[in-house]
C-alpha cells in the first residue's frame, strides 16, 4: 500500500455530521487518536486456520471441478467467445478449464485498488490490509420496533443511506440496501443510485439486475465523476451472484462484463447454502465457491485485463429441524476463514459478509450470530464486508434498530483491528513506579494523559449501575437503538452536492424513466 | 496429550439426561459423530496476535515490575518465608524478584493435568489443546424474566448446578455460581460444595474465602474420592484473585497454598480494570497481569513443587461516559489473545473468561459483548474458560435465560473448534459429479450420507420462516430461553451418588456447621 493510502486511512474523516455528542466523544473521533476513518487499516494479523497441505487439497478439488465437471455460461455468447479464445474447452454452454488456466488469467487483476467517493476524503482502498464496512444488501422488507415488518420503500432506502452516512463506523453506502418496492422494478436502480449520490458522499454500488441497469448506474457515476475519470478509476461496484451450483447466467455475466468493460469492480459472489446449492460438507462447499469465483473473476479479466474485481463468497448452513437456511452459524464462520486464505493465495481483494442472522428481532439471537459471523469476516482478512449493518431474518429484512446496533459494533471493531500498541507509554512502567502496590491508577499522571482515548465506548451498551438503569426505565438494547436511529435521522444533514451535477442526474433519470413503460418484474 | 486423553475427549459422554429432544438430536449427541464431549480438543490453531518482539517487550516490562517495584505479600509469614528461601529480596512485606527467577520456579508446574470428576467419563484435561467450559462465578444476584433480579439463594445455586449438568455443552460444574445469601457466610462453602457433588457428576471448584474453607472443600472432595487418590490427583480447583495492583493478601495466599499443598489446582487470577487496578493502557495492564500471575503460580510451586496450577487473567476496561467497568469490549478481547501467547511461552494451562457483558438483560447488548469475549477466549487458546454461562450486569447477576443462551453458544463452539475436516468425503468431488451444474444437492447420495451430522443446530435460534415464527407468537430469544431453562429443570434427574458417600458428606457438613456460630461477613 502506498504511503498516501496509509495517510488517507489514518486521517480522521472530516465530513461526519454528529450533532448531540459530548465533547469527549468529538475529541475521540476527530482528534489525532480519532477512531473514525474512511476505512480501517488492520493492525492485527489474519487468522490462518488451515495448513498449506489442506489448502492445496481444496485448490486441487476446485481445479478438478473446473476441469472435469465444468461451469455452464448460459445465454451469453460473448462470454463463451471469451472462454474459447482463452483456450477453455467449450461444449454447448458448458465450459471446462485446464488446471492453472484461471489462476493465470487472474494475474492481471489488481491486488488492491481505490474506490473513489465523490468526497475524496471518503475514498476507500479495497485490498491489502484495508477493511471496508458496507450495509446489508437486498432485503425486500424493512422493520422497526414501532411499525413492525413491511415492504421497503424508496423512503426507507433513503433513510438507510442517511443512517450509514451518519455513522462514523461505516465506510461505504452499499447498494440495494433494501428493495424499494414502491418503484417499478425496471426503474428502481435509477432512484437507488440517485439516493446514494444525493444523501451520501461515500462510495457506493450500482445495479446488476440487467446489463442496461448496470450501464445506467455507471452512466450516473460518469455524470458525477466525469467520463475520463471513470475510465481510469473505480467509482462504483456491482455485486454479481453465481447461480450455484456451477452456473453463470447471462443476467449476471452481462452485468459483470459491463462493470469490467467500464473499468469498474465487479464483486463475484457464489451464494452456497450447504446441502442445497452445494455439498452439505464444508470443505466441498468451499472448493465449489473457489471454482465459481475464480471463473467469474477471470471473465472480468477477459472483458478488460486489469479491471478491478473482488473475490467474494457467501456460505451458509441449514437447520436440520426446520430445513431452513441458517446464518451466523459456526460452519460458515470457519468457511470464511478458509476462503480468506484462498483469496490471499490468489492475491485478490476479498469480500465477506458479517452480522448475519436468522432472527426476526434485534435480540440476543441476532447479535450472537451476527457477532460470530462479523468476527469471522474480520479475522479472515476480508477487505470489503457486505451486510455489515441491518441484516435480519436471513436477509429478508433490513432492521432500523439492528442497523445502528451493528454500526456500533463496527465501531468496536475499529478498536479491535487496531490490536495492541507496544511502546513505552503503553507499557506504562512509569505508572507502576508512580502508583506502586496496593494503590489505584484513577488520578495518576499516566491515566490522565491516556484515558480520553483509552477505551472503546459503545453508544448502544448501557454500562450504568443496575439501579440507575432501572430508574431510567429498564430499557433493553433494542429500545435504545430505536431512539438512536430516530435521533440520527432527525439530525442528518445532506452532504453538499454540486447543483449542476444534481440537475444532470435528475435529467438523466427523467429521460430514462420516460423511455420505458413501468415493469414490475 | 496422551492417547488415552485424546480418546476420552472424543468419546461422547454417556451420562447426560436430555429427555424431550428429538431422535435426530439424540443421534447427533450420542452417535459416533456426537458433538457433546467431556471437554473439547481444539482442532483449530490458536490466534497469535503479537510478534515475538512485542511479546519479549511485555515480558521484559513484567520482569522490571517484579524486580524494580515488587509485589506485597501481606499477613502471610509462610509465603514470605517461601520467597526468602527461594532467593527473592524481601523488604517488610514487599518482595522483589530477579528477572528469570519466577520462570525458573514455574518449570515444576505441569503443562497439563487431569481434573477428575466423580463420574470418570466426565473427567477433564486442563492444558494443551483442551478447552473446558465452566459456568459464571461469583454473582450476588440472580435474575430471570419472571421474577426479575433478587439475591441468590442456595436453591438458585442448586438450580444452576442442575442446569449445567443438563447441558451437553458445558464441561464443568463451576464454583460459586451465585452467592447463596440465605446461608451464613462462614457456612456457605459447605452447602455449595455439597450441591456440586450431589447435583452434578462433573468436576467442580471449592471455596477460597478463607484457608479453613479451602481445606473444608478439599476434605469434602477427599470423602468422595478417597484421601490417597486426592493426594495423587487433582479433583478440585480454587480460583484465587490477586489484590491488584501488585498485592497478594493472606486470604488468597493461604487459600492458594492450601490447594497446592493438597496437590489441587489453584487458578491464579488478577482482576485488572484498566485505569483503576492497573494502567489505562492495554499493554501495561497485560504486563502487570503477567507479573502478578507468575508470582502466584510460582508460590504454589514453592508450597508443593509439581502441584497443578492454572495461569489466569481477567482484564477489563472502563466507560469514559459513566466511569463504570465495561465487559466484552475490544480491549480485553485483544488482551486475552496476548495473554494466551504469554501463557503458552510459560508452558502453563490458561484460564480466560467468556460471555462477559454489562447488560442487565439477556438482550442484543448481552450477546454482542458476550460473543466477542467468548470468541477471544477460544481463539487465545484458553484451556479453562470460566464465566462461560449466565454472566450479566458485570458479574453482579446470574441470569437463568442467559445461562441457557450461553450454553447453547458453547454448543456452537464445539463445532467451531472442530474447524474444517479435509478428506475425500468432505471435499465431495463425487457429489459434484452426481449433481452437476444447475441442479441441487437436496436428495443426492452425498447429502443423505452426511446431513445428519453436517451442521450445528441451535436450540435457542429460531430459523423458521417469518410467518411461522409470527404465528407462534413472535417470541424473542429471551422468551425461548425462559421456556428452555424451565424445561431443563423439570426434566433434570440427579446422577447417582453412593449413599455412604452422601451420608459422610452430610455428617461432615453437620459437624462443621455445629462447630461455629453463624457469621454474616
Inter-chain CB proximity A245 and B379 less than 8 Å: no
pLDDT at residue B29, as a whole number = 36
Q: What is the pLDDT of residues A204-231, one digit of tens each?
A: 999 999 999 999 999 999 999 999 999 9
pLDDT at residue B113, as a whole number = 98
Inter-chain CB proximity B429 and A364 less than 8 Å: no
Which among A365, A479, A482 is the top mutation candidate for probing chain B, defined by the most B β-carbons within 10 Å of its own β-carbon? A365
Q: Is A317 on the interface with B (CB under 8 A)?
A: yes
pLDDT, mean of residues B51-77: 98
d(CA A337, CA B379): 13
pLDDT surpassing 50 at residue B28: no
Judge residue A470's burial from the number of C-beta atoms within 10 Å of its C-beta, 0-12 exposed, 13-18 middle, 19 or more buried.
Answer: middle
pLDDT at residue B323, as a whole number = 82
State residue A99 phi and psi, 5-degree precision: -50, 135
pLDDT surpassing 70 at residue B381: yes
pLDDT surpassing 60 at residue A12: no
Task: Please check whether residue A112 is in contact with residue A4, taking contact to mean a CB–CB distance below 8 angstroms.
Answer: no
Of the listed ranges B113-127, B176-190, B318-332, B381-395, the least confidently predicted one is B318-332
pLDDT at residue A320, as a whole number = 72
d(CA A311, CA A242): 12
d(CA A242, CA A249): 8
pLDDT at residue B318, as a whole number = 87
Q: Is B23 on the interface with A (CB under 8 A)?
A: no
Nearest Cβ partner for A427 among B57, B334, B405:
B57
Q: Give B22's contacts in chain A (Cβ within 8 Å).
A: 321
Q: Which residues contact B32 (CB under 8 A, 6 or more apart)?
A: B12
The phi-psi region of residue A321 (left if phi > 0; otherwise alpha if psi is between -120 and 50; otherwise beta) is alpha
Of the listed ranges A7-16, A304-313, B258-267, the least confidently predicted one is A7-16
pLDDT at residue A392, as a whole number = 97
Q: Is A122 on the interface with B (CB under 8 A)?
A: no
Q: Which B-chain residues 175-214 have CB contacts (< 8 A) with chain A?
A: none
Judge residue A22's burial from the number of C-beta atoms within 10 Å of its C-beta, 0-12 exposed, 13-18 middle, 19 or more buried.
Answer: exposed
Task: Please check whether residue A18 is in contact with residue A29, taking contact to mean a CB–CB distance below 8 angstroms.
Answer: yes
pLDDT at residue B452, as a whole number = 86
d(CA B122, CA B298): 29
Looking at CA atoms only, how far is residue A334 from chain B in angstroms? 6
Q: Is B426 on the interface with A (CB under 8 A)?
A: yes
H helices of A171-281, in order, are 188-199, 211-225, 227-232, 250-261
Task: Please check whether residue B99 is in contact with residue B65, taking contact to mean a CB–CB distance below 8 angstroms.
Answer: no
d(CA A47, CA A349): 16
Q: Is A250 on the interface with B (CB under 8 A)?
A: no
Q: What is the pLDDT of residues A425-434, one digit of tens each?
A: 999 999 999 9
Q: Give B360's contacts in chain A (Cβ within 8 Å).
A: 462, 466, 469-470, 474
pLDDT, mean of residues B343-368: 97
Report CA B18 to chain centroid distance, whole Å: 23
pLDDT surpassing 70 at residue A355: yes
Q: Is B276 on the interface with A (CB under 8 A)?
A: yes
Sorting pLDDT into bands at 50, 70 and 90, what band is B507?
A: very high
pLDDT, mean of residues A405-415: 97
pLDDT surpassing 90 at residue B196: yes
Nearest partner of B173 among B202, B199, B147, judged by Cα: B202
pLDDT at residue B176, as a whole number = 98
Chains A, B: CB pairs < 8 Å: 428
- State chain B's mean pLDDT as an integer: 93
Task: Please check whether residue B190 is in contact with residue B216, taking contact to mean a CB–CB distance below 8 angstroms.
Answer: yes
pLDDT, mean of residues B6-32: 36
Inter-chain CB proximity A324 and B463 less than 8 Å: yes
Nearest Cβ partner for B420 among A24, A276, A283:
A283
pLDDT surpassing 90 at residue B269: yes
Q: Is B443 on the interface with A (CB under 8 A)?
A: no
What does the DSSP 8-state code read for residue A274? B
Inter-chain CB proximity B246 and A68 less than 8 Å: no
Beta bridge partners of B316: B273
pLDDT surpassing 50 at residue A405: yes
pLDDT at residue B15, as a whole number = 30
Inter-chain CB proximity A476 and B363 less than 8 Å: yes
d(CA A166, CA B148): 36
Only one residue has cell 495423587, namely: B232
pLDDT surpassing 90 at residue A6: no
Q: What is the pLDDT of residues B285-316, one digit of tens each?
A: 999 999 999 999 999 999 999 999 999 999 99
Sorting pLDDT into bands at 50, 70 and 90, what band is B321?
A: confident
Report CA B88 to chain centroid distance, whole Å: 32
pLDDT surpassing 90 at residue A481: yes
Looking at CA atoms only, how far is residue B231 from chain A in angstroms? 35
Sorting pLDDT into bands at 50, 70 and 90, what band is A32?
A: very low
Of the listed ranges A452-456, A480-484, B106-110, the least confidently predicted one is A452-456
Q: Is B432 on the interface with A (CB under 8 A)?
A: yes
Sorting pLDDT into bands at 50, 70 and 90, what band is B467?
A: very high
pLDDT at residue A43, as a whole number = 97
pLDDT surpassing 80 at residue B95: yes
Which among B427, B429, B442, B449 is the top mutation candidate for probing chain A, defined by the most A β-carbons within 10 Å of its own β-carbon? B427
Q: Is B312 on the interface with A (CB under 8 A)?
A: no
Cell representation of residue A493: 444533514
Sorting pLDDT into bands at 50, 70 and 90, what band is B33?
A: very low
Cell representation of residue B375: 470468541
Looking at CA atoms only, how far is residue B288 from chain A in angstroms? 9
pLDDT surpassing 80 at residue B472: yes
pLDDT at residue A319, as a whole number = 85
Residue of A nearest to B334 (CA): A419
Residue of A nearest to B44 (CA): A49
d(CA A292, CA A271): 10
Nearest Cβ partner for A442 among B276, B338, B470:
B276
Sorting pLDDT into bands at 50, 70 and 90, what band is A34?
A: very low
pLDDT surpassing 70 at residue A31: no
Sorting pLDDT into bands at 50, 70 and 90, what band is A11?
A: very low
Inter-chain CB proximity B429 and A284 less than 8 Å: yes
Of the listed ranges A15-24, A507-516, B127-136, B473-482, the least confidently predicted one is A15-24
Task: Please check whether residue A349 is in contact with residue A385, taking contact to mean a CB–CB distance below 8 angstroms.
Answer: no
Q: What is the pLDDT of residues A489-518, one digit of tens each?
A: 999 999 999 999 999 999 999 999 999 999
Inter-chain CB proximity A371 and B375 less than 8 Å: yes
ipTM score = 0.93
A173, HSE (Cβ side, Cα atoms, 13 Å):
32
DSSP sequence for A370-435: HHHHHHHHHHTT-SEEET-S-EEGGGTEEEHHHHHHHHHHHHHHHHHHH----SHHHH-HHHHHHH
Nearest partner of A265 among A221, A223, A227, A228, judged by Cα: A221
Q: What is the pLDDT of residues B206-224, one digit of tens each?
A: 999 999 999 999 999 999 9
Task: Please check whether residue A149 is in contact with residue A33, taking contact to mean a CB–CB distance below 8 angstroms.
Answer: no
Give the whole-number percent of chain A exceeding pLDDT 70.
Answer: 93
What does the DSSP 8-state code read for residue B13? P
Q: Which A-chain residues 251-270 have CB contacts (< 8 A) with chain B?
A: none
Task: Please check whether residue B219 is in contact with residue B102, taking contact to mean a CB–CB distance below 8 angstroms.
Answer: no
pLDDT, mean of residues B31-55: 84
Which sign, positive or negative, has the C-alpha torsion A391, A393, A398, A402? negative
Judge residue B401's burial from the number of C-beta atoms within 10 Å of its C-beta, 0-12 exposed, 13-18 middle, 19 or more buried.
Answer: buried
Amino acid at each position: 500500500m502506498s504511503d498516501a493510502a496509509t495517510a488517507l486511512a489514518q486521517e480522521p474523516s472530516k465530513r461526519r455530521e454528529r450533532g448531540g455528542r459530548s465533547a469527549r466523544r468529538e475529541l475521540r473521533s476527530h482528534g489525532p487518536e480519532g477512531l473514525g476513518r474512511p476505512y480501517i487499516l488492520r493492525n492485527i494479523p489474519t487468522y490462518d486456520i488451515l495448513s498449506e497441505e489442506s489448502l492445496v487439497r481444496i485448490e486441487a478439488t476446485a481445479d478438478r471441478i473446473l476441469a472435469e465437471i465444468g461451469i455452464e455460461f448460459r445465454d451469453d455468447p460473448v462470454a463463451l467467445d471469451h472462454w474459447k479464445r482463452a483456450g477453455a474447452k467449450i461444449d454447448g454452454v458448458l465450459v471446462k478449464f485446464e488446471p492453472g488456466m484461471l489462476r493465470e488469467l487472474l494475474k492481471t487483476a489488481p491486488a488492491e485498488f481505490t474506490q473513489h467517493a465523490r468526497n475524496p476524503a471518503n475514498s476507500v482502498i479495497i485490498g491489502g490490509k484495508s477493511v471496508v464496512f458496507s450495509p446489508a444488501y437486498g432485503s425486500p422488507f424493512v422493520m422497526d420496533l414501532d411499525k413492525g415488518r413491511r415492504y421497503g420503500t424508496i423512503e426507507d432506502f433513503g433513510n438507510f443511506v442517511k443512517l450509514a452516512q451518519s455513522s462514523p463506523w461505516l465506510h461505504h453506502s452499499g447498494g440495494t440496501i433494501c428493495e424499494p418496492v414502491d418503484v417499478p422494478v425496471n426503474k428502481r436502480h435509477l432512484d437507488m443510485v440517485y439516493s446514494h449520490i444525493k444523501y451520501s458522499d461515500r462510495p457506493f454500488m450500482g445495479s446488476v439486475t440487467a446489463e442496461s441497469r448496470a450501464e445506467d448506474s455507471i452512466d450516473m457515476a460518469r455524470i458525477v465523476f466525469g467520463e475520463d475519470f471513470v475510465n481510469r478509476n473505480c467509482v462504483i461496484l456491482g455485486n454479481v451472484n453465481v447461480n450455484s451450483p456451477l452456473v453463470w447466467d447471462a443476467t449476471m455475466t452481462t452485468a459483470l462484463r459491463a462493470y469490467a468493460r467500464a473499468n469498474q469492480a465487479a464483486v463475484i459472489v457464489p451464494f452456497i447454502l450447504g446441502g442445497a446449492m452445494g455439498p452439505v460438507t464444508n470443505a466441498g462447499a468451499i472448493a465449489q465457491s473457489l471454482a465459481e469465483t475464480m471463473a467469474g473473476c477471470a471473465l472480468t479479466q477477459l472483458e478488460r485485463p486489469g479491471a478491478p474485481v473482488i473475490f467474494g463468497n457467501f456460505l451458509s448452513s441449514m437447520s436440520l429441524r426446520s430445513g431452513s437456511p441458517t446464518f451466523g452459524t459456526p460452519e460458515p464462520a470457519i468457511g470464511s476463514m478458509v476462503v480468506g486464505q484462498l483469496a490471499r493465495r490468489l492475491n485478490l481483494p476479498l469480500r465477506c459478509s458479517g452480522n448475519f442472522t436468522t432472527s426476526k428481532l434485534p435480540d440476543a439471537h441476532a447479535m450472537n450470530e451476527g457477532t460470530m459471523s462479523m468476527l469471522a469476516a474480520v479475522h479472515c482478512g476480508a477487505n470489503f464486508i457486505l451486510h455489515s449493518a441491518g441484516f435480519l431474518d436471513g436477509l429478508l429484512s433490513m432492521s432500523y434498530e439492528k442497523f445502528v446496533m451493528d454500526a456500533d459494533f463496527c465501531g468496536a471493531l475499529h478498536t479491535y483491528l487496531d490490536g495492541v500498541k507496544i511502546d513505552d507509554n503503553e507499557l506504562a512502567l512509569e505508572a507502576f513506579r508512580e502508583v506502586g502496590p496496593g494503590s489505584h491508577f484513577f488520578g495518576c499522571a499516566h491515566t490522565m494523559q491516556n484515558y480520553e482515548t483509552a477505551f472503546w465506548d459503545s453508544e448502544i451498551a448501557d454500562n450504568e449501575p443496575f439501579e440507575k438503569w432501572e430508574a431510567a426505565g429498564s430499557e433493553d438494547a433494542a429500545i435504545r437503538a430505536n431512539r438512536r436511529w430516530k435521533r440520527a435521522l432527525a439530525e442528518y444533514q445532506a452532504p453538499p452536492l454540486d447543483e449542476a451535477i444534481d440537475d444532470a442526474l435528475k435529467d438523466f433519470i427523467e429521460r430514462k424513466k420516460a423511455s420505458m413503460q413501468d415493469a414490475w418484474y
